[in-house]
Amino acid sequence: MRIVLGVGGGIAAYKVASLLRLFTEAGHDVTVIPTEASTRFVGTATWEALSGNPVSNSVFDDVHLVNHVRLGHEADLVVVAPATADLLAKAATGQAADLLTNTLLMAHGPVLFAPAMHTEMWQHPATRANVETLRTRGAAVLEPASGRLTGADSGPGRLPEPEAIFEAAMALVQGRTDYQLPLAGRTVTISAGGTREPLDPVRFLGNRSSGKQGVALAVAARNAGATVRLLAAHMDVPAPSGVEVVRVETALQLRAAALEAAADSDVFIMSAAVADFRPADVSDTKIKKRDDTADPVITLVRNPDILQELVERRNSQPAAVAAGQLIVGFAAETGDSEGDVLAYGEAKLQRKGCDLLVVNHVGTDKVFGQDSNSVVILSRAGSEPQEASGTKAEVSDAIISRISLELNRLSVN
């Protein structure tokens, strides 16, 4: 496929280098057209090297090739990222002072704008009107992500992560109307991995969680346009790019990080394997074996139930605020003679009070550290249990789709 990638003059232009890589690695032929202003952030040499094509934004370069007409005509897709307030205004008013704006006027295929700017600019009536005009004319304008902007401010206006723009672009080319990123503007916090509860400076009580499911969920949420915060306990896998990572070790550290993160999270997913108990005493020095003393006894005390606390905290907020947050728990169950996996899951959902509970069937050879998974999603609202199975990435996509659906329901009610 032939893609024209227009780059606007915003700091987020650096992220577009990754987007270009995603396009070229998928086998597409990309011509980059940076605006004059954008070359102050990323130089044309970067775009030429990464795309393998010549780069210009002048209508007077290679005039014999009639680039100002040809590029737009031949493109199967035009993507503009970051689409600044200025570029959106120029596109909406049909200006044609440079190669990129000419190309936008000549485009025959789908056009996708991925805006990035400060919140006030994005919410300004002039920008709203320009976005409306472009959408009415058939262009796709993504909702920006919400979160930290260039300065100290935060709010809607961040460029969605490159993978998210890539997904939206592919959906648009396939003629899908659901190219809009389902979690755009949402903040999703995910806890992942297993906590480690220290006994002494060298030993701890841990568990088998690899963090793979939590990381796969972070990737799925990021690709769905969310601003993702990963509260990472011990993990065997690296954290993905494009998410904020907060490292924690113990259940108590995770609790503190979770309560802080909850304040601005639209969605909270507790996929971490949290130790239910921790050693009552942590020795400052290494515990030594001595032949003349009895075998040591480890006394355990209960850790707080973080999921339950998140639910209580949420429910104590004014109803309108509480209604805006979705809390998702995970349950690792084996089933036994007194109940099967689902029965235990239902009981846990009621006990913990979260909105959704993802139930895993675990055994020593199942789930932990594995790449595939099979889960049932239970809902407190009482809808039918939903099964999802496949790779942890596929299961995560199913969980994130279900979360998007539930969030839409919340905002309708």
Residues of this chain that interact with ligand CTP (CB under 6 A) are 251, 270, 272, 274, 276, 303, 305-307, 329-332
Nearest alpha carbon to residue 217 among 244, 239, 257, 190: 190
CA 308 centroid distance within chain: 24
Compute the distance between CA of residue 367 and CA of residue 372 in angstroms, rounded to an integer: 7
In terms of CB distance, is 183 or 307 closer to ligand CTP?
307
User: Shortest gap between Cβ of 233 and ligand CTP (angstroms)?
Assistant: 10
Instruction: Reduce the DSSP state of residue 294 to 3 states and report it.
Output: coil
In terms of CB distance, is 241 or 350 closer to ligand CTP?
350
| Cα separation values, 161 from 17, 65, 280, 393, Å | 11, 34, 43, 18
Compute the distance between CA of residue 345 and CA of residue 319 in angstroms, rounded to an integer: 27
Tokens of residue 387, six digits: 């099964």
In terms of CB distance, is 109 or 353 closer to ligand CTP?
353
User: Shortest gap between Cβ of 352 and ligand CTP (angstroms)?
Assistant: 6
User: Shortest gap between Cβ of 191 and ligand CTP (angstroms)?
Assistant: 6
Secondary structure (DSSP) of 157-209: EEPPPHHHHHHHHHHHHTT-GGGS-TTTT-EEEEEESB--EESSSS-EE----
In terms of CB distance, is 286 or 302 closer to ligand CTP?
302
Q: Which of 130, 207, 303, 373 is catalytic?
A: 207
CA 114 centroid distance within chain: 16
Tokens of residue 273, six digits: 């394997």
In terms of CB distance, is 107 or 359 closer to ligand CTP?
359
Compute the distance between CA of residue 106 and CA of residue 72 in angstroms, rounded to an integer: 5
Compute the distance between CA of residue 62 and CA of residue 141 in angstroms, rounded to an integer: 31
Amino acid at the residue 196: R
User: What Rg do the C-alpha atoms of the chain give, in angstroms?
Assistant: 25
User: Shortest gap between Cβ of 397 and ligand CTP (angstroms)?
Assistant: 19
Compute the distance between CA of residue 148 and CA of residue 156 in angstroms, rounded to an integer: 9
State the first-to-last Cα distance of the chain, in angstroms, to the nearest integer. 42
User: Shortest gap between Cβ of 164 and ligand CTP (angstroms)?
Assistant: 26
In terms of CB distance, is 11 or 282 closer to ligand CTP?
282
In terms of CB distance, is 5 or 332 closer to ligand CTP?
332
Active site annotation includes 207: yes
User: Shortest gap between Cβ of 329 and ligand CTP (angstroms)?
Assistant: 4
User: Shortest gap between Cβ of 208 and ligand CTP (angstroms)?
Assistant: 12
Nearest alpha carbon to residue 81 among 132, 140, 123: 140
Active-site residue set:
207
